[in-house]
Every structure is written in structure tokens, then in C-alpha cells.
Structure 1
Amino acid sequence: MGILSNKVERSEIKPGDHIYTYRAVFAYSHHGIFVGGSKVVHFTPELDANSSTETSSNSYDEIYNLPSSCPTFPDCGFRQPNSGVVLSCLDCFLRNGSLYCFEYGVAPSVFIAKVRGGTCTTAPSDPPESVIHRAMYLLQNGFGNYDVFQNNCEDFAMYCKTGLLIVDRLGVGRSGQASSAIGAPLAAILSSPLKLLMPSPVGVATVTAGMYCMSRYATDIGVRSDVIKVAVEDLAMNLGWGAGGQQEEATMALLTN
């Protein structure tokens, strides 16, 4: 993978990889964890069963990469009731989009050079078996309420890869693309020495570009001080998402179908 693109071929990804694909002409990216067997676990908003109609359901499926029907995998689209964590086949996850692989443990210089957020982090990844365990556990127990800025699909994938959570849930989440859009510049101005680099009539463009890059870096989970490592079982118990640890074996059986 290079500086400009993390695009990969299907043959290059391995179980436990954090993958993503772009939607709406590269306006945003959708993220998930490849768990093997051509299947991906990813996080979407819950569909409101009380207000769903055939039309709204189809629109929901299109926006959030959920298959209305899959001729290849009968279990494609599996999820627990009232949960946004979904198991999809790779084809339905991509929806004819290109495949990209999120990078972990990158050097600060590489992170800053990748101007677009949501492609990498300086935080190291845990072993693949730990990543898959978290993803499958959350498929059974859920990942709380979806929030585009604080708890989205990228946040889900990054938690599965690292086990890291932000202590202050009122602040910016783990998502790199959300931080790039609204959170990083604000966080840097309010809470870091970058506030000393306020633009002046001279060098406005240089200062603005530097602030953007450095503020992205300041909110990366690999350098933030407000992150903690949380076991997935403790995450479910503490937030009241359920106690389905013993049900994971049944969910893991989906990978072999």
C-alpha cells in the first residue's frame, strides 16, 4: 500500500483485516472487519422496525451496504434484533466498489502524509484472533447506538482491531474521517499548543495546511492520552449490551457455512 492509496486485491486481505470501500463518489467510506470465508462484520444504524416500509427498507439497505437478498450466502445480512452489527458477504459489503485495507502502526510521518482521514492510524493492531473474537462477539451483542461522529463503522472496526475506547464519549470518536471533517481542527485549537498557530495575513495557506495535518495527528488514537484498553466482554457488561459470551460459538458457526 502506498501513500496515495490503500487499495488492495481480494487475494491480499487476511482474516482480521480492517477493510473499507468508498461510497457516493468517494464522499465517505464504509468500514468493516474481514473475518474470513468471504465474510465481513460491519456496523450500521439500526433499522426502525416501527417506521420501516418496503421503500424505506430498500433505501436503508442501499445506503448502509445491507443486502436485500444474496444468492451466494444464505446468512448474508445476519444480525441480532435491535443491533446494527451485521455479517455480510464481501460482495454485498463492497457493492461493486473497490477494496481498501486500513493500515495500523504507521509512522507519524506516514500518517501526516496521508491527508485524507480514515485510512490509517499510528496505533498497533492486536493479533488477528483477538480482532475476530471482538467482531464476532459484537455481532452477537451489538455495539451500542450508531452515531456518525462518535460511534460509526470506522469506530467499530478500530475497536475490533485495537480494543481501545475514548474515555470522554462527549468528544471526538476514534473515526479518522469524522475527525478530519469536523473534530480534529476544533480539538486542536481548543486543547493543544496548535492554538498558538492562528492564521495571520502572512502564510495563511501554510498555517492552515499545517494545522489540518497536525490536528489530525493530535486526535489519532495512537497518540491520544484519553484512550483505554477495554475487553470486549467488559464492554458489553458495562454498557448493558447483553451477556452473550457463551453464544459466540453459535455465531462463529456462521463462518463455516
Structure 2
Amino acid sequence: MGVISNKISRDELKPGDHIYSWRHAYVYAHHGIYVGDGKVIHFTRGAGQEIGTGTFLDNIIVSSSPSHGDCPCPNCGDQSNLDGVISSCLECFLSGGDLYIFEYGVNPVVFLAKPRGGTCTLASSDPPEEVIHRAKFLLQNGFGVYNVFKNNCEDFAIYCKTSLLVYTNMSVGRSGQAASIFAAFSAVASTPLRYLTTSFSGLAVVGYGMYCMGRLVSDIGVRRDVSKVPVERLVALPTTDVASEGKPDDKKGR
């Protein structure tokens, strides 16, 4: 993979891959798990929407499912009324965009060299058969309540690849995109910056450094507020919000 782009050809795609495609001129990416036979399992907000905040911002950034009622996909049918975890053909998942692969087990240098979050992680992936099992199991049993910051499509794909869940309520989920947003706001709003430099260029360098460190410490591969939770236990939990249901005693090999 390149440092800037994780773009791949369809010939390179393998079952169990975590893939994504950029939407709205790279404003955000939609993530899913390729399970073979041209099918992708992914997590959506519902009502035909891939993501959503529940605010007026949805009118600007939210894209709808490509399989809509007035011209449904011949393979997927009308998916405009579906919610949660759904299965779509690769064409519908990409929605006219390019195909990218999410990288696992990268080193910190490569991680920080990528300017956008939501493209890679230091965490290691589980074997493809386990990834596909989790994705198909969640397709039948759900993945809790959608939350753009704590339980979104990237969180779903990362869980399928790693079985890692965040067990604290005070932080973002596993999503690198969400972590990047919080890191950017923290870098801009941090008052200590003005004591470190007086020049605009110096402020920019320090701010970018804080942004990078914020991304790094929020990565699922280095955090300590995560644990391994088997998918069968995940769907048996009494709560409908899976974003903070891991427990410290479930940690394995961390």
C-alpha cells in the first residue's frame, strides 16, 4: 500500500478484507467486510442512510443507500428501509466510489505518515474465517444502536476483524475517523499551544504534532480500554448499545 492511498483493484480483494470507499469528496468513508461472492456486510444508521448524527448536519453530509426504492439494484433489491447490519453487493457498497482496503498491524511510523484517520491501525487482524463468521453472525443478530462517534460502520468492521470492544463510556469507539475529529478539535482548542510557540508556522507544527499524537493514543491497537469479546456473547448482552460493553476481565493477550 502507498503511504497516502490504500486503493486496491477488485482482483486484489479477498474474503475477510476490511474495505472502505470515500463519500462526498473525501468527507468521510463508509466501511464494511467483504465476505466473498461479490457481497459486503456493513453497518448503517437506518432509513436508507449509511451514517448520521441525528442533527441538521445530516442534510449536508449523510449519503443514502444506493439501493433506493425508485431504482433498486437488481442484486440487492430495495434497501432503503433496512437498518443496522445489512448485506449489499460490492457495486452498491462502493456507490460509484473507488475501492480501498483498511490495513492492520501497521507500525507507528506508517500510521502517523497517513494524514487521515480511518485507514489503518496498529492492531492485528484475526484470521479471515473468524472475521467472516463475526460479520455473518452480526448480519443475523445486529450490532446494537448506531452512534456516529462510538458505534459506526468503521467500529463494526474493526470489531469483525479483531473482536475488540471499548469498555469505557468516556471515550470514542474504535473508529479512526471519529478519533481524528476529536484529535483535530483538541489540537486547535488546546490552550498550552500558545506557550510553546509565538509564530504561526510554529503553532501549525505543534498543532499537527498534537493531532498526530491524539490519533496514535486513540488507536485501537495501543489503547488499554478495550477487550476481546466473542461475538456470541456480544449479541447476548442485555443492552442495545454495544459500544461500551467490553470488560477488563475479557482481555486476552493484551
Length-normalised TM-score, structure 1 = 0.78
Q: Could you tell me which residue of structure 1 aligns to residue 92 of structure 2?
A: 92
**SS where residue 21 of structure 2 aligns?**
strand
Are residues 1:70 and 2:73 paired? yes
Match of 1:201 among 183, 198, 203: 198
**Match runs of 1:8-157 below 5 Å:** 8-47=8-47, 63-68=63-68, 69-71=72-74, 73=75, 77=79, 83-157=83-157
- Asked if the contact 2:39–2:89 (Cα under 8 Å) also holds between the matched residues in 1, the reply is yes
Deviation of 1:47 (Å): 2.4
- Say if 2:227 is the partner of 1:228: yes
How far apart are 1:75 and its partner, in Å? 6.4
Cα pair distance change 1:198/1:12, threshold 3 Å: farther
Paired position in structure 2 for 1:217? 216
Q: Shift in Å at residue 76 of structure 1?
A: 7.7
CA RMSD of aligned residues (A): 2.6
Is the contact made by 2:76 and 2:88 (CA closer than 8 Å) also made in structure 1? no
Q: Which has the higher helix share?
A: 1
Shift of 1:145: 0.8
Aligned partners of 1:14 and 1:36 also within 8 Å:
yes
Aligned identity (percent) is 55
Gaps of 5+ in 2: 49-58, 241-254
- 1:29 counterpart letter in structure 2: A
Asked whether the equivalents of residues 111 and 121 of structure 2 are also in contact (C-alpha less than 8 Å), the reply is yes
Report the alpha carbon displacement of residue 120 of structure 1 after superposing the two structures with TM.
0.2
Q: Per-residue deviation at 1:201?
A: 1.6
Moved more, 168-177 or 37-46: 168-177
Name the CA distance, whole Å, in 1 between partners of 2:231 and 2:34.
Answer: 18
The number of equivalent residue pairs is 221
Distance (whole Å) between structure 2 residues aligned to residue 64 and residue 140 of structure 1: 22
